[in-house]
C-alpha cells in the first residue's frame, strides 16, 4: 500500500555528531558533579513524574544505567537531534542506533527494555478483552506499538465470537511508504485461527493517516474475502504520528 508523504518536519537541536560521545571519566570514582546531577534528575522525576522532565532528561535517566560513570547529557542531546523525540529514540531500529558514536550494546539494550515494557503494558489492556468495548485501549496499543516506526507495518487483530482478541499478528513489513498485503493470506490465517472477526491496522511513517487508493482497494478486497467466508471485518485503522483514521468512521467500510 502507498500513501502521500507528510510535509511536517521535526524540530532538531544544532549539535555536532561528535558530541554524542559521553564525556569520559578517569579514575576509580565518579566525580561529584556527575553524581549530584544524576541525583537531582532522579529526585525531580520521583517528585514530579515524567511531566517534570523534558524528553532529553528522561532519556538521560535511561542512559544512566547503560553508562554508569560518564556524563550522558551530550549523547542524550544527539539522540534527540537525530530521531526527534523520546519515543522515536526508544523505538529506533538497533542498526540506526549503532551508527551513532557513543551508542553501544548496553545503550541499545536499555532502550529496547523501555520499548518492550511500554508495549507489554498497553498490550495487557487489550489481550483477553472485548476490544469493541475497550476501543480507546486498542487505539493506545496501536499508537504505542506503531506510531513511531520508520517503515510501514501491517498487523491483523483476530477476534473470536465475543470480539475477544485471539492473537495480534504482524503480517508484513515494508518501506517508508509501502507494505505488501495479500488478502487471501489474511483470510486463510483467520480460518486457521478459527477467528470470527478481525481488525486491520497499519501505520503511515509520514505521520499522515489519510488512506491512499491502494489502501482503500486492499481493504475492499479483504472485506470481500471475509464476507465470502462468513467473517466480519470490523475496521481498518491507519495509525499516524498523533492521530489515526478509521475506515468505518470515514464510511470507507
Q: Which CATH superfamily is domain 130-246 in?
A: Cytidine Deaminase, domain 2 (3.40.140.10)
What is the pLDDT at residue 173? 64
CB burial string 26-51: b at 16+ within 10 A, e below? eeeeeeeebeebbeebeeebeeeeee
Contact yes or no for 76/63 (Cβ under 8 A): yes
Segment 157-169 shows an average pLDDT of 92
Residue 28, pLDDT > 50, answer yes
pLDDT tens for each residue of 33-81: 888 899 999 999 999 988 889 999 999 999 999 998 889 999 999 999 9
The confidence band for 127, taking pLDDT boundaries of 50, 70 and 90, is: confident
Domains in the chain: boundaries: 23-121, 130-246
What is the pLDDT at residue 161? 94
What is the pLDDT at residue 182? 80
Among residues 133, 136, 140, 131, the alpha carbon closest in space to that of 166 is found at 131
Contact yes or no for 15/78 (Cβ under 8 A): yes
Amino acid at each position: 500500500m502507498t500513501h502521500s508523504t507528510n510535509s511536517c518536519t521535526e524540530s532538531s537541536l544544532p549539535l555536532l555528531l561528535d558530541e554524542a560521545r559521553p564525556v569520559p571519566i578517569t579514575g576509580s570514582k565518579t566525580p561529584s558533579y556527575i553524581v549530584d546531577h544524576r541525583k537531582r534528575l532522579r529526585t525531580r522525576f520521583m517528585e514530579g513524574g515524567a511531566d517534570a522532565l523534558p524528553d532529553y532528561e528522561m532519556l538521560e535517566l535511561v542512559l544512566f544505567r547503560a553508562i554508569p560513570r560518564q556524563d550522558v547529557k551530550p549523547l542524550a542531546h544527539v539522540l534527540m537531534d537525530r530521531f526527534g523525540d523520546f519515543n522515536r529514540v526508544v523505538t529506533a531500529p538497533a542498526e540506526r542506533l549503532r551508527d551513532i558514536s557513543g551508542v553501544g550494546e548496553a545503550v541499545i539494550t536499555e532502550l529496547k527494555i523501555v520499548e518492550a515494557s511500554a508495549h507489554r503494558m498497553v498490550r495487557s489492556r487489550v489481550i483477553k478483552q472485548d476490544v469493541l468495548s475497550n476501543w480507546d485501549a486498542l487505539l493506545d496499543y496501536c499508537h504505542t506499538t506503531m506510531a513511531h516506526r520508520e517503515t510501514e507495518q501491517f498487523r491483523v487483530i483476530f477476534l473470536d465470537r465475543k470480539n475477544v482478541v485471539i492473537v495480534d499478528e504482524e503480517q508484513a513489513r515494508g518501506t517508508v511508504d509501502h507494505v505488501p498485503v495479500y488478502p487471501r493470506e489474511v483470510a486463510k490465517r483467520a480460518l486457521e485461527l478459527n477467528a470470527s472477526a478481525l481488525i486491520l491496522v497499519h501505520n503511515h511513517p509520514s505521520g499522515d493517516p489519510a488512506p491512499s487508493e491502494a489502501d482503500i482497494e486492499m481493504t475492499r478486497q479483504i472485506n470481500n474475502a471475509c464476507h465470502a467466508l462468513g467473517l466480519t471485518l470490523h475496521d481498518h485503522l491507519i495509525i499516524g504520528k498523533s492521530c489515526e483514521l478509521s475506515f468505518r468512521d470515514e464510511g470507507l467500510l
